[in-house]
Amino acid sequence: MLLRAVPLSRIQLARYLRRTMSGVEWDLWSCLRARRLDGFKFRRKALVGPFIVDFVCLSARVVVEIDGEPFGGGAAGDGGRLQWLESHSFRVVRFTSLDVSQRIDYVLGVVSAELAGRPVFLPERGSFRGRPALPRRPEARAP
């Protein structure tokens, strides 16, 4: 019996990447999760448009990427990705895995400064994750 690899959907791929994060990614995630960095909410291995990014703060529109090799081909090969993210008002901050493993305070300082320097995107009142709110039913008035 021949087993064929079934292509994963983007959602399934993001879930798989969350389960198989590297140690360096886990180290940074432990500092970003649960609003630990200046009260901003981050997501890990999140879908942003057609891409899966390492970490994203949607309210401040900041993407944090970790490149595997210092000065490697990771950043050079994704010019279209960077261009798409920036055209949709995302600011991409990129670090090497050595920066995260050896200078985590520096990394958190840079991300914190980026968060402080950007206006916070607040969706319309009553909206959920930037989507329009459902119309409310008229409330019954007391006679």
Structure tokens at 135: 């119309």
Residues of the chain where predicted confidence (pLDDT) is lower than 70: 1-6, 68-77, 118-143
Binning the chain into helix, strand and coil, the percentages to the nearest 5 are 40, 20, 45
Residue 2 confidence (pLDDT): 57
- Structure pTM? 0.75
Helix or strand holding residue 142 (H, E): none
Q: Which long-range CB contacts under 8 A does 44-47 form with residues at least 24 apart?
A: 44/18, 45/14, 45/17, 45/18, 45/21, 46/14, 47/10, 47/11, 47/14
Residue 133 confidence (pLDDT): 47
CATH classification number, 22-117, choose in 3.40.309.10, 3.40.50.300, 3.40.960.10, 2.60.40.420: 3.40.960.10
Structure tokens at 48: 């942003």
